[in-house]
Amino acid sequence: MASDMVSPVELLPQKHVTVQPEEDCKGYSTVAVRDLAEKEVLFSESPIMVVAASQDEGWMASMRQALTLLSSDCAWQFCMAVRCFGKEELPHPCPSGLQPLQPEAIARMQELCGGCLDDGLEPTELAAAAAHHLLQASADEAASAGVTLRWPEATEELVRSSGDDEESRRRAVLRWLADRLDDIANRISRNGFQLIRPVADGLFHRISYMNHCCAGQNNCTWLWNGPESILTCRTTRAVAAGEELTISYIAKPWCDLATRARRRYLKQNYNFVCLCKACCQPPKARQEAPAADSKEPAAGSEAPSKLLQLLSRWLTEEGTGEIVDEEEELGEQDGKKEAALGEAVKAEAEAVPDKAARAAARASKKLEDGPRRRGVPAAGRQPEEAEASQTAA
């Protein structure tokens, strides 16, 4: 989902789709302005950034290793974030392996949702660690070249106000870098895509304006062409004019699970309560894959796989040892509890109007006798199926 601060309509000039604000707290959505055929290409776009862990060298590999020890789920966001600085945001000399992001790419990135600057919270440990690695890599580069390390141009005023003490200036720059890294990493976590062939993490602009829909009811999919570095979005079925265009953020087996499991997975990994049409249907109207707690294997299949057993354990209520009954949990009376959930989410949005602030408030935690630190969702949008992100033929 994209930021609700800047309208992207002018940035999506295709005649068959438009982007419009939603009234139900989802930010922007992408809508068909004419009837679309099955497998019709909507757009192709180059990435803002693609990062493959296999290409890390030197200080970047050391940084990834250190960040992974802090959080194996979130490290990838910050490994990408350090590559998303503009020229004036990087210390000089620029650390080896980094290329400043071009202004046009920075502008596209800043339009994506998830920013958390000026929220009054302390940087995450991951951001602080990444900032330290970045500044130290620049210092090592300066020492090797026999030149003086220079702070980022964007911090000149900050440095002047920090006094003459070099250590105070260094701490101020590290804090500024960490705040900026948190802001970028949070946008990446909300809009990133998992790519294969080659395995990498990607950040894109246009497709980030497409919302999620569960249970195979999304009407669009995407294809990543690695050699050409192009992502293409197309329809998966005929779409009527005025219909919202959606993709699935999650891959198998998660997208095939019952509503409760999908919602729990999306909440844990993407930090939102899913209110898509598949999740808001009355329980009796849903047509879903068998839930993970099914004790009866499908006809012709063998005993439940280890993965399904793990999913069943994941769906077990903590401390009870019993599988939650989805129908009992969600209610049997025409989805009234889903409607109540939607009202609760809307009430939360009205209490905290800014979407980025809502995300930061939900994700952040208060430490004992310490400052509040930011929290960052962990997942990137996954290929719907094996072929969805393979290199195009």
pLDDT in tens, 107-139: 999 999 888 877 778 999 999 999 999 999 999
Q: How many CB atoms within 10 Å of residue 302?
A: 7
**Domain boundary at 133, 161, 191, which?**
191
C-alpha 372: how far from chain center: 22
Closest among 26, 22, 42 to 34, alpha carbons compared: 42
Number of folded domains that form the chain: 2
How are beta strands 28-32 and 41-45 bridged, if at all? unpaired
Please determine, for residue 352, whether its predicted confidence score (pLDDT) is greater than 80: no
- Does one domain contain both 113 and 187? yes
Residues 6+ apart with CB under 8 A from 357: 119
- Would you say 226 and 198 are in contact if contact means Cβ atoms under 8 Å apart? yes
Sign of torsion, CA 367 130 76 99?
Answer: positive
Does a structural domain hold residue 196? no
- Does one domain contain both 94 and 176? yes
Token output for 47:
């990435």
Does a structural domain hold residue 375? yes
Question: What CATH code is carried by the domain that includes residue 311?
Answer: 2.170.270.10
Does a structural domain hold residue 198? no
Token output for 19:
């982007």
Residues 6+ apart with CB under 8 A from 237: 38, 219
- Does one domain contain both 41 and 82? no
Which range marks the domain in which residue 58 is found?
53-191
- Does one domain contain both 107 and 226? no
Does a structural domain hold residue 145? yes
- Would you say 245 and 217 are in contact if contact means Cβ atoms under 8 Å apart? no
Please determine, for residue 329, whether its predicted confidence score (pLDDT) is greater than 80: no
pLDDT computed for residue 298 by the predictor: 43
Please determine, for residue 90, whether its predicted confidence score (pLDDT) is greater than 60: yes
- Does one domain contain both 114 and 151? yes
What is the percent of the chain where pLDDT is above 70?
65
- Does one domain contain both 21 and 74? no
**Chain segment 18-52, per-residue pLDDT in tens:** 665 555 555 688 999 999 999 999 999 999 999 99
Q: How confident is the model at residue 375 (pLDDT cuts 50, 70, 90)?
A: low
- Does one domain contain both 155 and 37? no
Does a structural domain hold residue 350? yes
pLDDT computed for residue 68 by the predictor: 97
C-alpha 22: how far from chain center: 19
**Domain boundary at 148, 170, 191, which?**
191
Maximum Cα–Cα distance for the chain, whole Å? 76
Does a structural domain hold residue 2? no
**Domain boundary at 191, 221, 241, which?**
191
**Chain segment 237-291, per-residue pLDDT in tens:** 999 999 999 999 888 777 778 888 888 888 887 778 888 888 887 765 555 444 3
Lowest mean pLDDT among 85-94, 146-155, 354-363, 381-390: 354-363
- Does one domain contain both 23 and 93? no
- Would you say 230 and 43 are in contact if contact means Cβ atoms under 8 Å apart? no
Select the more confidently predicted residue: 103 or 329: 103
* Residue in the block written with tokens 């290329």: 99
CA–CA gap between residue 154 and residue 179 (Å, rounded): 13
Please determine, for residue 316, whether its predicted confidence score (pLDDT) is greater than 90: no
SS (HEC) of the chain: CECCCCCCHHHCCCCCEEEEECCCCCCEEEEECCCECCCCEEEEECCCEEECHHHCCHHHHHHHHHHHHHCCCCHHHHHHHCCCCCHHHCCECCCCCCCCCCHHHHHHHHCECCCCCCCCCECCHHHHHHHHHHHHHHHHHHHHHCCCCECCHHHHHHHHHCCCCHHHHHHHHHHHHHHHHHHHHHHHHHHEEEECCCCEEEECCHHHHCEECCCCCCCEEEEEECCCCEEEEEECCCECCCCEEEECCCCCCHHHCCHHHHHHHHHHHHCCCCCCCCCCCCHHHCCCCCCCCCCCCCCCCCCCCHHHHHHHHHCECCCCCCECCHHHHHCCCCCHHHHHHHHHHHHHHHHCCCHHHHHHHHHCEECCCCCEECCCCCCCECCCCHHHHCCCC
- Does one domain contain both 181 and 65? yes
- Does one domain contain both 93 and 228? no
Residue 123, amino acid: P
- Does one domain contain both 125 and 157? yes
- Does one domain contain both 127 and 261? no
Token output for 120:
């009054």
Does a structural domain hold residue 3? no
Closest among 232, 262, 2, 273 to 112, alpha carbons compared: 2
Does a structural domain hold residue 34? yes
